[in-house]
Amino acid sequence: MQKFTLKSLHFVSMLGLWLCVIGAKPKADFANIQVSAQFVRLSDGKILWEEGAQTSLSPASVTKLVTAAAVLARFTPEKTFATKIYADARPASKVLKGNLYVKGDGDPFLVSEKLWQLAADMKNAGLKTVSGDLVVDNSLFDSEARDESREEGEDVSSHAYDAPISALGVNFNTVAIVISPAAKIGAPALVTVDPYPIEGIRIQNKAATTSGETSSLKVTRITLNDGVEAMNVTGKIGIGKQPQKIYRSLGNASTLSGRYIKAFFENEGIEIKGKVRTGSVPSSAMEISSVESYEMQKLVSGLNKFSNNYIADVMVKRVGAAFGSTSSDLPQSGSLASGTKVITDFMQQDVGIKSPMVIKNGSGLNTDNRLSAAQIVSLLKYMEQRLDLFPEFLVSLPAAGWDGTMSKRFADSKFKGMVRAKTGTLSQPISVSSLAGYFRSSEHGLVAFAIIHNGVVGKPQPPLDVLRDQQDELLHSFLK
């Protein structure tokens, strides 16, 4: 393949040349590509190469770099959040008379392991029966369950990333549907909820067992008028296939989080006689147990490595609840608006960015955000100077050829593991492909970089795989 020189490197011309070299025919008008890119040597701040570096574009999930940096800086890497259990009275003779309250603290990683530990602690404390209700308190956050980019997934969803946001959310406010082949070809597939059956989730199973070891399965979640989550399972699974686990978002996170918890309690032999409902912890209630979240450094790693939109949105609300202020425009601090204001202030006041930017959400799941490559590189430079934050920030980024969203990039290259970077991808309403992070060059040492490609509204959109290959070619030119 023809070598490229950095002095003559321009994205549009480079893309056309690259397509000619490999003999591919363009599927779109590649003049309609917007580019913002910058490479900076961190030892002295020298700009090694840039193209449209000051142009503000949609960064897609590269936005999560900003969210991760802000929450690490405001909370510190060792910060944890505590999901607390309250009661109207202390248990006596293995019975808790009155209600049991669970108050969410914005732990975005409240997973089955944590719920099992919480239920086991209550069992080991001797609790056998709760005479009243299980009350879920989500008052730390406002009532906005989804930002505008995900509202269409409220009632019907085939995706886990449509999950609503809540201060008490279990398993990323998703449910895992496990589909296994039956013992006989032609029989209905076996469908269960992992790890236990959950009240309020109804399985509608139309999947069949077929011969072979392949599967073609679909699970669609529909929230019914009575609040029941109907999981419609269709398709086929081969009799020789291993069980398949498919994740779907919840429609009503508040109630179903409580039902998740009830299922774990029941598995430990603790009966809750009342119903699951939402409400607030009364001032007279007493704390009887709690479970700590993982440390912030692990939460941020989950956010960046797997580009988890739910973690991003919860962290935005949580940083707003802790550091945001209320006003006529922001009536509650635990809101997306309050959190994005805290994150914008961090970029302006801490990182020192003076040029305009737009941060409407922390996940980058839509094209509302606007950042330039120069602004992202400024953030990367700032974090590299923060010894108290940089190790955790760096290790949170996917490693090329190793893990997360970079596991397949540079996988067969000698540069495997040499690039730590956050990816970003959107296909609607325009093509967006972005990549930003760090690499070490034999010539320049540690380099911070950002590359953002956007298609143009109303024009033919460039294929995403071509844009990703283009980014990798550019990185190769520096790494060689």
pLDDT number for residue 28: 37
pTM of the predicted structure, to 2 decimals: 0.90
Q: Which two tokens stand for residue 30?
A: 């590649």
> Is residue 452 a contact partner of residue 37, using CB atoms and an 8 Å limit?
yes
pLDDT number for residue 357: 98
Within 257-365, strands assigned E span: 271-272, 276-278, 286-292
User: Does residue 18 register a pLDDT over 50?
Assistant: no
pLDDT number for residue 480: 74
DSSP one-letter string for 127-167: --EE-S-EEEE-TTS-S--S-GGGGGGTTEES-GGGPPP-S
User: Does residue 8 register a pLDDT over 50?
Assistant: no
Instruction: With cut-offs at 50, 70 and 90, classify the pLDDT of residue 167.
Output: very high
Q: Give the residue-averaged pLDDT of 41-52.
A: 97
pLDDT digits (tens, 9 = 90+) for 420-432: 999 999 999 999 9
Residue type (1 letter), 254: S
Q: Give the residue-averaged pLDDT of 473-478.
A: 91
List, in sequence order, every residue forming a beta bridge with 421; answer none if it has no partner. 437
pLDDT number for residue 322: 96
Instruction: Output the CATH code of domain 6-77+297-479.
Output: 3.40.710.10
pLDDT digits (tens, 9 = 90+) for 72-84: 999 999 999 999 9
82-292 has which fold?
D-tyrosyl-trna(Tyr) Deacylase; Chain: A; (3.50.80)
pLDDT digits (tens, 9 = 90+) for 309-364: 999 999 999 999 999 976 666 657 899 999 999 999 999 999 999 999 999 999 99
Task: Please tell me the distance from the alpha carbon of residue 401 to that of residue 412, in angstroms, as a whole number.
Answer: 7
Tell me how many degrees the CA angle 196-201-202 measures, rounded to the nearest 5: 110
Task: Please tell me the distance from the alpha carbon of residue 298 to that of residue 394, in angstroms, as a whole number.
Answer: 12
pLDDT number for residue 151: 55
Q: Give the residue-averaged pLDDT of 16-26.
A: 38
Residue 37 has phi, psi (to 5 degrees) of -150, 145
First-last CA distance in the chain: 14
Task: Please tell me the distance from the alpha carbon of residue 480 to that of residue 467, in angstroms, as a whole number.
Answer: 20
Residue located via tokens 């399972």: 233
User: Does residue 412 register a pLDDT over 90?
Assistant: no
Neighbour tally for 331: CB within 10 Å: 11
Q: Give the residue-averaged pLDDT of 195-223.
A: 94
Task: Please tell me the distance from the alpha carbon of residue 154 to that of residue 249, in angstroms, as a whole number.
Answer: 9
List, in sequence order, every residue forming a beta bridge with 38; answer none if it has no partner. 50, 450
For residue 468, give Cα distances in angstroms to 168, 406, 428, 465.
37, 11, 16, 5
Neighbouring residues of 391: CB distance < 8 A, sequence distance ≥ 6: none
Range from 14-28, 66-80, 218-232 that averages highest in pLDDT: 66-80
Tell me if domain 6-77+297-479 and domain 82-292 are identical in fold. no
Task: Please tell me the distance from the alpha carbon of residue 60 to that of residue 89, in angstroms, as a whole number.
Answer: 49
pLDDT number for residue 252: 81
In this structure, the strands spanning 33-41 and 445-455 are: antiparallel
> Is residue 401 a contact partner of residue 417, using CB atoms and an 8 Å limit?
yes
pLDDT number for residue 150: 58
User: Does residue 244 register a pLDDT over 60?
Assistant: yes
For residue 308, give Cα distances in angstroms to 248, 314, 320.
14, 10, 19
> Is residue 478 a contact partner of residue 447, using CB atoms and an 8 Å limit?
yes
Domain limits, the chain:
6-77+297-479, 82-292
Instruction: With cut-offs at 50, 70 and 90, classify the pLDDT of residue 254.
Output: confident
User: Does residue 9 register a pLDDT over 60?
Assistant: no
Within 42-152, strands assigned E span: 47-51, 82-87, 95-96, 100-103, 129-130, 134-137
Tell me how many degrees the CA angle 115-119-124 measures, rounded to the nearest 5: 145
Instruction: With cut-offs at 50, 70 and 90, classify the pLDDT of residue 253.
Output: confident
> Is residue 260 a contact partner of residue 138, using CB atoms and an 8 Å limit?
no
413 against 135, higher pLDDT: 135
User: Does residue 460 register a pLDDT over 50?
Assistant: yes
Residue 278 half-sphere exposure toward CB, CA atoms < 13 A: 15
Mean pLDDT computed over every residue of the chain: 90
pLDDT number for residue 4: 38
pLDDT number for residue 371: 98
Range in 153-157, 297-301, 329-333, 386-390 with the lowest mean pLDDT: 153-157
> Is residue 392 a contact partner of residue 77, using CB atoms and an 8 Å limit?
yes
Q: Give the residue-averaged pLDDT of 57-84.
A: 98
pLDDT number for residue 474: 92
Range in 221-235, 326-340, 412-426 with the lowest mean pLDDT: 326-340
Instruction: With cut-offs at 50, 70 and 90, classify the pLDDT of residue 15.
Output: very low
For residue 398, cis peptide bond before it (omega within 30 degrees of 0): no
Q: Give the residue-averaged pLDDT of 469-476.
A: 92
User: Does residue 183 register a pLDDT over 70?
Assistant: yes
Within 185-256, strands assigned E span: 190-194, 201-210, 215-223, 229-238, 244-249
User: Does residue 149 register a pLDDT over 70?
Assistant: no
